[in-house]
Chains A and B, each alone.
Chain A
Amino acid sequence: MSMGKKVDVVVIGSGAGGGVVANELAQAGLSVVVFERGKSYSAGDFNHDELNSQYSLPPAYGPSVFPNPRTFRYTDRETAQRVYAGVSEGYGKTAAAVGGATVAYGAAAWRFKKEDFRMKSTYGNIPGTSVEDWPITYDDLEPYYDKAEYELGVSGLAGADPFAEPRKRPYPVPPLPINPQGEIIRDVGQRIGWHPFPPPFAILTKPYMGRSACVQCVWCLAHDCEIQAKSGTQVTVLPRAMQTGRCELRNNSFVTRILTDAQGRPNRVEYFDVKNQEHEQYADLIVVACSATESARLLLNSANKFHPKGLGNSSGQVGRNLNDHTGADTFGLFDREIPHDKGPGPSIAFNDWNHPRSREIPGGGYIYNYYCTLPIEFAGTRPPGEPLWGKAHKDFQRKYFRRYLHLGSNCQGLPQDTNYVDLDPNLRDAWGMPVARITHSWMKVDYQIANYVMDKGEILLKEAGAIKTWRGGNGKGGVGDHQNGTCRMGNDPKTSVVTRYCQSHDVDNLFIADGSVLVTDAGFNPSLTIQAVAYSSADYIQKQWQGGAWRNGKRG
């Protein structure tokens, strides 16, 4: 075992949140080491290939399939079954690479709505759920949304969504062009009284901070962008952090535990490098940013005599309230051609059914035309009763591949105490650590929300002239790449894991910077909110640091 030179801060995870915190603290003068279990990809690693994407087996951007399985079950009345990365939705498909999930994300860059931070106040107690208000409001986060949009590069059109919350500045670059699918749903939506607008994306439409604009290829979702038009942390904040000379990235390095000093205060991490050599890295501050499943697992695996239930887990809430979005996709077939070769795909959205004024459902979700359809994906896209193979399959594929419209949506899932991550008692990973056991199932209200939005999607498709429409489904449970909620923020140390600044209630030099801290998940993709919260947290950390906190064991 070797011990590196002590640094000011260790950040575990280089994704949406970890990348932001690393850069902010390096810019503020702190020395930073970022750990990333995955590898670093370059433009030469990417190709336009449906069998080399985050949705293929194995997932193109990690995690590698074998060394770190998880187990999955719908409820704690079942025995959890072993699941593998890329092989099962039960694992989730969050990439493990420098840049984390932002390497291959769809890059939707939404701000949440004000109700999303006030779910309990807005809708009251919802039986069976653990819905709470956030300790922060939209107004608290607005300056940090703004910062995230400008630091990362987000395209959009201010004022175009009448349901969006106020913003102080326009987007740094204009929205993506409206493609033929977008034109169809824009015109139909206007005709039936909905409010179409071009949705925001962390995809450049003009050169910005040294990167080039999107060329509208169809290989966006689940692929990296070889021209770096997609604003992942690996092409934005991480390179800037390195340029300070104060930030070191250690990829292919898996952190197994956070270790504490003789008083029980975290002071270092234990990790294994690419050659499986064990090391320790000392730091004054530790920021956990491994995504909702792995952050919870790391804290639980870091239990010791001072922290018997896991580090930062005196509340027993670490791992609880594991949440994700339901899908509310709808599909339509047409007797006319609907071109879908202008990527990335989504170019018109509606927020009419996200916290509808009637309040007939708690939350909801946006609707937009989906990412460009690819051939293998389309082979699995059929209305109920339609044959999946044989002559009928081939005829369908030939007839409808270009006469088809897919509307996508991420609907608010409501958190439940009984959905959680804990440590599997029977299975260990290649480093000998207990793996994450995921227990997750949807409840009735989750289906009600998704059904409500799918009703609207089918209306839109029929109004657009679809000759047949159908809807997607959500199965019984399971989390994917919008996983969140396992270390919720809150004011009460008894019922939450971190403060409004993502600081552990138990341990002052431990922070969390990923989707774990989300209290509820809104009907929006989470990455921009994860990043705004991370900017808010980093702002707090650097002010405290400049005031002398955490140095040489001082408390913060």
Chain B
Amino acid sequence: MSNSIDRRNFLKAAGGTVAIASLPVMGTTTPRTLAPGCKYFTGPQAALIESIAEQMIPSDADPGGKAAGVVFYIDGVLAGPYGKFYRSNYEEGLAMIDATSQKQFGNAFASVSSDHQATILQDLQAGHSRRESRHEFFGLLWRHVMEGYYGDPSHGGNRDGASWKMINFEG
């Protein structure tokens, strides 16, 4: 599909060109203070993911990405058996997003205005569309947010099946 994030682009975001087996397993060597309810993300990382999920799927009459618990789905992926595919992408990607926010708007992503957050994500997506390697993280992030919001609640997101009620999907 010309306007969607296809699986081949996703491959690059998922680290197809890095030596996956040798990635450091974060959290086992570095002391981390985990966010409540999380097995991988620190408090600031979880807040950042929640802000991104809320930008991508904002709350209105139906719950947004934050209320639907997208962060707990992604946290489960990173803490799970295939998490090592993604951990370095997230560590670097989240740090990059916060650094960009600091540079452009003087504060961490979770603390800048909604308009500024949207600008940062739009720039990231534009770079992704241009196949810029520093922006490959966007494809991974987008996919995980959608999986967390629309996937089966047993994986930690889509709290109370909210997204399924929203689109009248009975399964």
Q: Which residues of A are interface residues toward B (Cβ below 8 A)?
A: 47-52, 57-58, 65-66, 81-84, 87-90, 218-219, 341, 374-376, 378-386, 388-391, 393-394, 397-398, 401-402, 470, 472-473, 475, 478
Q: Indicate if the CB atoms of A394 and B146 lie closer than 8 Å.
A: no
Residue in A57, A66, A378, A475 whose CB lies within 8 Å of B6 = A475
Q: Indicate if the CB atoms of B1 and A475 lie closer than 8 Å.
A: no
Q: Indicate if the CB atoms of A81 and B142 lie closer than 8 Å.
A: no
| B67 on interface, CB distance cutoff 8 Å | no
| B7 on interface, CB distance cutoff 8 Å | yes
Residue in A51, A383, A394 whose CB lies within 8 Å of B58 = A394
Q: Indicate if the CB atoms of A50 and B152 lie closer than 8 Å.
A: yes
Q: Indicate if the CB atoms of B1 and A472 lie closer than 8 Å.
A: yes
Q: Indicate if the CB atoms of A90 and B11 lie closer than 8 Å.
A: yes
Q: Indicate if the CB atoms of A384 and B3 lie closer than 8 Å.
A: yes
Return B58 CB to nearest CB of chain A, in Å: 6
Q: Indicate if the CB atoms of B150 and A382 lie closer than 8 Å.
A: no
Q: Quick one: given A382-B4, A475-B6, are A84 and B20 in contact (CB under 8 Å)?
A: yes
Q: Smallest CB-CB separation from A58: which chain B residue?
A: B82
For B145, the chain A residues whose CB sits under 8 A away are 389
Residue in B16, B85, B151 whose CB lies within 8 Å of A51 = B151
Q: Smallest CB-CB separation from B154: which chain A residue?
A: A49
Hey, what's the 0/1 contact readout for B44-88 against A, CB within 8 Å counting as 1?
Answer: 000000000001111010100000000000000000001001000
Q: Indicate if the CB atoms of B16 and A401 lie closer than 8 Å.
A: no
Q: How far is the CA of A394 from the CA of B65 in the complex (A)?
A: 10
For B105, the chain A residues whose CB sits under 8 A away are none
Q: Indicate if the CB atoms of A401 and B168 lie closer than 8 Å.
A: yes
Q: Indicate if the CB atoms of B57 and A478 lie closer than 8 Å.
A: no
Q: Quick one: given A382-B4, A388-B142, A478-B8, are A394 and B14 in contact (CB under 8 Å)?
A: no
Q: Indicate if the CB atoms of A88 and B11 lie closer than 8 Å.
A: yes
Q: Indicate if the CB atoms of B167 and A375 lie closer than 8 Å.
A: yes
Q: Indicate if the CB atoms of A388 and B4 lie closer than 8 Å.
A: yes
For A470, the chain B residues whose CB sits under 8 A away are 2
Q: Quick one: given A391-B60, A401-B167, are A81 and B17 in contact (CB under 8 Å)?
A: yes
For B5, the chain A residues whose CB sits under 8 A away are 380, 388
Q: How far is the CA of A473 from the CA of B3 in the complex (A)?
A: 10
For A65, the chain B residues whose CB sits under 8 A away are 82, 85
Can you offer 11 A-B residue contacts whose CB atoms are under 8 A? A47-B152, A87-B85, A375-B169, A380-B1, A382-B1, A388-B125, A389-B125, A390-B118, A397-B167, A401-B168, A402-B168
Q: How far is the CA of A478 from the CA of B149 in the complex (A)?
A: 29
Q: Smallest CB-CB separation from A391: which chain B residue?
A: B58
For B39, the chain A residues whose CB sits under 8 A away are none
For B151, the chain A residues whose CB sits under 8 A away are 49-51, 375-376
Hey, what's the 0/1 contact readout for B112-142 against A, CB within 8 Å counting as 1?
Answer: 0000001001000100000000000000001
Return A511 CB to nearest CB of chain B, in Å: 34
14 new A-B contacts, CB < 8 A, other than A389-B55, A389-B57, A390-B58, are: A50-B150, A65-B85, A81-B17, A88-B16, A89-B7, A381-B1, A388-B3, A388-B4, A388-B125, A389-B56, A389-B145, A398-B166, A402-B167, A478-B8
Q: Indicate if the CB atoms of A390 and B56 lie closer than 8 Å.
A: yes
For A390, the chain B residues whose CB sits under 8 A away are 55-56, 58, 118
| B31 on interface, CB distance cutoff 8 Å | no
For A376, the chain B residues whose CB sits under 8 A away are 146-147, 150-151
A376, A379, A380, A385 interface centre (most CB from chain B within 10 Å): A379
Q: How far is the CA of A457 from the CA of B168 in the complex (A)?
A: 27
For B118, the chain A residues whose CB sits under 8 A away are 390
Return A374 CB to nearest CB of chain B, in Å: 8
A375, A380, A470, A473 interface centre (most CB from chain B within 10 Å): A375
Q: Indicate if the CB atoms of A84 and B16 lie closer than 8 Å.
A: yes
Q: Quick one: given A51-B155, A380-B1, are A87 and B58 in contact (CB under 8 Å)?
A: no
For B170, the chain A residues whose CB sits under 8 A away are 341
Q: Smallest CB-CB separation from B146: which chain A residue?
A: A379
Q: How far is the CA of A106 from the CA of B41 in the complex (A)?
A: 38
Return A284 CB to nearest CB of chain B, in Å: 40
Q: Smallest CB-CB separation from A219: which chain B residue?
A: B171
For B16, the chain A residues whose CB sits under 8 A away are 81-84, 87-88, 90
Return A300 CB to nearest CB of chain B, in Å: 23
For B11, the chain A residues whose CB sits under 8 A away are 83, 87-90
Hey, what's the 0/1 contact readout for B1-28 against A, CB within 8 Å counting as 1?
Answer: 1111111101100101100110000000
Q: How far is the CA of A402 from the CA of B155 in the complex (A)?
A: 25
Q: Indicate if the CB atoms of B169 and A380 lie closer than 8 Å.
A: no
